[in-house]
Amino acid sequence: MHPRPGGAGTERAGTARRVLVLLSALLVLALAVAASVTFGSRPTSFGDVLDVLSGTADPFVTTVVESRYPRTVLGILAGLCLAVGGTLMQGLTRNPLADPGLLGINAGAAASLVAATALLGSPGSTGTVWWALAGALAAGVLVQGIGSAGGGSGVVRLVLAGAVVSAVLYAFIQAVTLSLPEVFDSYRYWVVGALGGRDFEIFRSVLPFAAAGFVLALLLGPGLNSLALGDEAAISLGANPLLIRTGALIAATVLSASATAAVGPIAFVGLAVPHIVRALVGIDFRWQIAMAAVTGPALLLAADVVGRVIMRPQELMVGVVTAFVGHRCCCTRCAG
C-alpha cells in the first residue's frame, strides 16, 4: 500500500497549527496572570506592579499587589485541575455534558467539611483544605467502587453511582446545615467557590496531589486515543482498556478533588473548557490535555478579574461569575 500523497505534509501542518494555537493560549494565560495581579477591588496600574517587583513602590500599593499573588497561583492550579479533569471525564464517558462533579467530588468535599464543622468547629483555612480533600477523594473512590461492583465497568453504572452518592451526600448536607446555623454560615461561603481569602499554604497543601494527577493524565493521553477507537481496536493496538479507564478515573478524581479542596466547587470550567479545547486542537487527547492545562487557568483568572472589577469596591466571587457565564452560554446555545 502506497502512502497517501501529502499525508506527512498534512500531519506536519496540523502539528504546526496546534503548536501555534498552544503558544497563543500561553500568551492569553500570561495576559490573564498580569491582569489578575494588576486589577482588583482597589485600583492599581501595571506600572504599580512593576514598581512592586522592583521594590520601589509605596508600602500600601505593595501590600495590595502582593495580596493578589496567592489567588493568582490558586487560580492557575484550580483552573488546570478542573479543565484537565473535565477533559478526562468527557473523553472517558463520551458524554459532552460530563464534568468532575459526575464522580461525586463536590458532594464529598462539602459533606466532609460540613461534618467536620459540626463535630469539631471551624477547621480554619488549612484544615478546610484537608477535610475537603479527604471527603472528595473518599467520594470518588466510593463512586468508582460502586460503579465497578460485580465486575462491571460500564460508564452508565459509573454515572448512576455518582448520581446516587451525590444525592445521599447532599441530603446529609441539607439536614446538618438546616439544623445548625453556625455550620451553614461556614458552608455557604465555601460552597460558592472563590479564589480570595486563601494563602500560599493552601496552594502548597494541594500541589502534590494536583501534580500527581496531571502527570498521570499526560501519561494516559496515548491510551485514551486508543480507547476512543473502541475496546477491540485498543486491545489490537496493545492497550489495556481497563487499566486506561481506571487510571483516567483516578487522575480525574485527584485533580477535581484538589481544585475543590483549594477553592471550593466552581462550576462551568470543567464542563466548558473541553469543548473549547476540542474546537481548537481536535480529538487527540495528548493535545487536549496540554491545551486544557493552559485554557482552564486563563478562563478562571479572567472570570476572577471580572468579579473583582465589576462591583468595586466590593467583590463578586468567581464561582458566581463562572456559573452566570455558563448559564448564559447554555441558554444561547439552546435558543439557537
What is the model's pTM?
A: 0.89
What value does the mean pLDDT take over residues 152-172?
84
Going by C-alpha positions, the residue among 211, 218, 212 that lies closest to residue 284 is: 218
Q: Is the pLDDT of residue 1 over 50?
A: no
Q: Is residue 2 part of a domain?
A: no
Going by C-alpha positions, the residue among 3, 80, 48 that lies closest to residue 258 is: 80
Q: Is residue 102 part of a domain?
A: yes
Diameter over CA atoms, the chain: 73
Going by C-alpha positions, the residue among 262, 216, 304 that lies closest to residue 106 is: 262
d(CA 123, CA 58): 35
What value does the mean pLDDT take over residues 126-139?
88
Q: Is residue 60 part of a domain?
A: yes
Q: How many domains does the chain have?
A: 1
How many C-beta neighbours within 10 Å does residue 167 have?
A: 12
**87: CATH:** 1.10.3470.10
Q: Is residue 210 part of a domain?
A: yes
Q: Is residue 326 part of a domain?
A: no
Q: Which of 64-73, 156-165, 293-302 has the lowest mean pLDDT?
A: 156-165
Domain range for 191: 14-319
d(CA 307, CA 27): 22
The C-alpha cell of 209 is what? Answer: 496531589
C-alpha distances (whole Å) from 8 to each of 1, 5, 12, 13 are 15, 8, 6, 9
Q: Is residue 158 part of a domain?
A: yes
- Give the pLDDT confidence of 23-75 residue by residue, as tens digits: 999 999 999 999 999 998 888 888 889 989 888 888 888 998 999 999 999 99
Going by C-alpha positions, the residue among 164, 175, 140 that lies closest to residue 258 is: 140
Going by C-alpha positions, the residue among 91, 26, 111, 89 that lies closest to residue 291 is: 26
Q: Is residue 193 part of a domain?
A: yes
Asked whether 50 and 74 are in contact (CB, 8 A), the reply is no
Q: Is residue 336 part of a domain?
A: no
